[in-house]
C-alpha cells in the first residue's frame, strides 16, 4: 500500500500552556456565503481551513476577487457572476448549500447538486428547501440537480422552522437579508454562529431584530458590505480544554467563555478546576478524570453535538461511567469503533452510548470525520504507547494549526508518512 500523510503520536505527555482560539469555522462559512449579496467585504480573524478555501473557490467562480493577508480575507465582486456552482465544490462540504439563499435573492436562481460534508448519518436539506419555497422559490429535482428559481423574485414570509436547524436558519436569514421585504423566522437556531451572521448582515445595512428562537429581517436589494471580525471558535476552544483534561494537564484558552457553559459544566463534573476571565478559560485537570455522568447533545445552549466525540475520547480513560445521548445527529458514532480499538469500553444502542472508563493503548487509527478525527487524536495523546492516525484531511477542514498547537502545549505529535 502507498504511504499516506498522517500523524504519529506518543501518548502520555501532560499538555500545559496557553492557546488562542482561531475564528470559528461555522461562523465564517455562512458569512462567506452571505457575501454574494454584497459587492465586497473584509473578513478578519478568518481561519486558514480547507472548508474556507472551498468557499473562496466558489466565490471566485461567482466573480469575486479573493485575497488573504494573514488572517484577513478581502472579497471584491468584479463581474456579475450569476452562474451555477459546479458539483465538485458543492460536494466538497456541507456549507456549500448556504450559497443557495443568497444566489436566489440576488440572481433569481441557481442550479446545484446536493452538498457533501461529514457523514454524520443522513444530512437532509428539506428544511432549507421548504423555508425558501415559503419565500417564493420554485425548486425542482432533476436527477442529481436541484433547479432553484424565483421567477418573480423572492418575497417576505413568516416562516416557522419545525426544528432549529443551524443551516436552514442561516440559508433563510441570508435569503431574507437580500429580499427587500419583511421576513419573520420562528423556531430559529440560536447558536453563537447565527448571532455572528446577524452581526455581519447588520454591518451590511440589513435591519434585523433577534431574540432566542425568533428573528425579524427587513431585507434590502443591495447590501453595502462591511468589515467583520469572526467570533472565536467555541468548538476548537473546548477541544483544547478537553486535550488538557485528558492528559492531566493545565491549559488556558483565549476564547469567549460565555459560549462554553455546557462543556465547562461537564469538565467540572469530570473533576477539572476551571477559572473563567472575560476572554479566557483556564483548566487544571486532576491526575485521573471521573466519568461525566450523563451528556445529552442539544441545540445551543445545550451541549454541542460537535463535542460529543471529543468528550467521549476524554471520558474513555476516566474512572467511572459516562452516558451519551445524541439528539442532534442520532447516528453520529463513527468514532466509537476507533476508540474501541484502543481499548475503550463503549456500547451503542440507537441514539445512546454507554461508556465505562478503561485503560487506552495506542494503535493505528483513522479519522472518519472532522470531530471524530479530533477525538481519536485526543485519545491517542492520553493512551499508553504510540498511535498513528490517517485521514488528516478531515481534521484540516476544521482545526487551523492543529498539530502545531498541540506541540506547543507539549504533545509528542508529528506529521509523518504512514
Ligand atoms: C451545523 C454545523 C455542524 C453542527 C450542526 C449542529 C456548520 C457548517 N455546521 O450543521 O458542525 O454539527 O450545525 O449543531 O455550521 N436536518 C433535517 N433537515 C434539514 C436540515 C437539518 O432533517 O433540512 C436535521 C439534520 O439531519 C440533523 C439536525 O437537523 O439531524 C441538525 O442539523 P443542522 O442544525 O441543520 O446542522 P447543520 O447546519 O448541517
pLDDT at 195: 98
Q: Is the CB of 165 under 6 A from ligand 1?
A: yes
Q: Is the CB of 235 under 6 A from ligand 1?
A: no
CA within 13 Å, CB half, 92: 19
d(CA 192, CA 38): 22
Give Cα 73 to chain centroid, integer Å.
19
Helix or strand run (H / E) with residue 362: none
Nearest residue by C-alpha to atom 21 in ligand 1: 165
CA within 13 Å, CB half, 382: 34
Q: Is the CB of 33 under 6 A from ligand 1?
A: no
Contact, 169 vs 161, CB < 8 A? yes
Q: Is the CB of 29 under 6 A from ligand 1?
A: yes
pLDDT at 340: 98
pLDDT at 348: 98
Contact, 300 vs 234, CB < 8 A? no
pLDDT tens digits, one per residue of 97-147: 999 999 999 999 999 888 875 555 556 899 999 999 999 999 998 888 889
pLDDT at 113: 85
pLDDT at 144: 81
Sites in the chain below the pLDDT cut of 70: 1, 117-123
- Give the nearest ligand 1 atom to 26 CA: 15
> How is the beta sheet containing 293-297 ordered, strand by strand?
293-297, 321-326, 352-356, 345-349
- Give the nearest ligand 1 atom to 122 CA: 26
> How is the beta sheet containing 64-69 ordered, strand by strand?
64-69, 72-77, 40-44, 227-229
Contact, 314 vs 246, CB < 8 A? yes
pLDDT tens digits, one per residue of 342-370: 999 999 999 999 999 999 999 999 999 99
Amino acid at each position: 500500500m502507498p504511504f499516506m500523510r498522517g500523524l504519529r503520536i506518543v501518548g502520555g505527555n501532560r499538555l500545559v500552556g496557553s492557546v488562542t482560539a482561531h475564528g470559528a469555522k461555522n461562523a465564517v462559512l455562512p458569512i462567506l456565503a452571505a457575501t454574494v449579496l454584497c459587492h465586497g467585504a473584509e473578513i478578519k480573524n478568518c481561519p486558514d481551513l480547507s472548508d474556507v478555501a472551498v468557499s473562496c473557490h466558489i466565490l471566485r467562480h461567482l466573480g469575486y476577487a479573493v485575497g488573504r493577508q494573514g488572517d484577513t480575507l478581502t472579497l471584491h465582486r468584479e463581474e456579475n457572476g450569476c452562474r451555477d456552482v459546479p458539483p465538485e465544490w458543492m460536494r466538497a462540504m456541507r456549507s456549500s448549500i448556504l450559497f443557495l439563499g443568497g444566489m436566489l435573492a440576488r440572481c433569481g436562481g441557481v442550479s446545484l447538486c446536493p452538498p457533501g460534508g461529514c457523514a454524520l448519518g443522513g444530512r437532509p436539506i428539506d428544511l432549507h428547501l421548504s423555508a425558501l419555497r415559503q419565500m417564493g422559490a420554485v425548486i425542482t429535482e432533476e436527477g442529481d440537480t436541484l433547479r432553484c428559481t424565483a421567477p418573480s423574485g423572492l418575497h417576505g414570509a413568516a416562516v416557522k422552522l419545525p426544528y432549529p436547524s443551524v443551516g436552514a436558519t442561516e440559508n433563510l436569514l441570508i435569503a431574507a437579508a437580500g429580499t427587500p421585504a419583511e421576513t419573520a423566522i420562528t423556531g430559529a437556531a440560536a447558536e453563537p454562529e447565527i448571532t455572528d451572521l446577524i452581526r455581519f448582515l447588520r454591518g451590511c445595512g440589513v435591519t434585523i431584530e433577534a431574540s432566542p428562537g425568533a428573528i425579524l429581517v427587513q431585507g434590502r436589494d443591495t447590501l453595502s458590505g462591511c468589515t467583520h471580525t469572526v467570533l472565536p471558535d467555541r468548538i476548537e476552544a473546548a477541544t483544547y480544554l478537553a486535550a488538557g483534561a485528558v492528559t492531566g494537564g493545565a491549559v488556558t484558552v483565549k476564547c469567549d467563555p460565555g459560549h462554553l457553559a455546557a462543556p465547562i459544566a461537564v469538565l467540572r463534573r469530570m473533576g477539572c478546576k476551571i477559572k473563567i476571565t472575560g476572554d479566557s478559560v483556564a483548566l487544571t485537570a486532576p491526575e485521573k478524570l471521573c466519568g461525566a455522568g450523563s451528556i445529552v447533545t442539544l441545540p445551543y445552549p445545550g451541549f454541542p453535538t460537535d463535542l460529543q466525540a471529543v468528550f467521549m475520547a476524554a471520558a474513555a480513560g476516566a474512572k467511572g461511567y459516562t452516558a451519551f445521548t445524541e439528539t442532534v445527529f442520532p447516528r453520529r458514532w463513527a468514532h466509537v469503533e476507533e476508540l474501541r480499538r484502543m481499548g475503550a469500553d463503549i456500547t451503542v444502542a440507537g441514539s445512546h452510548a454507554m461508556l465505562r472508563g478503561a485503560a487506552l493503548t495506542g494503535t493505528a487509527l483513522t479519522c472518519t470525520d472532522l470531530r471524530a478525527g479530533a477525538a481519536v487524536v485526543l485519545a491517542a495523546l492520553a493512551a499508553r504507547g504510540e498511535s498513528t492516525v490517517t485521514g488528516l484531511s478531515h481534521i484540516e477542514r476544521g482545526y487551523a494549526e492543529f498539530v502545531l498547537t498541540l506541540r506547543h502545549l507539549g504533545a509528542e505529535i508529528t506529521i509523518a508518512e504512514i
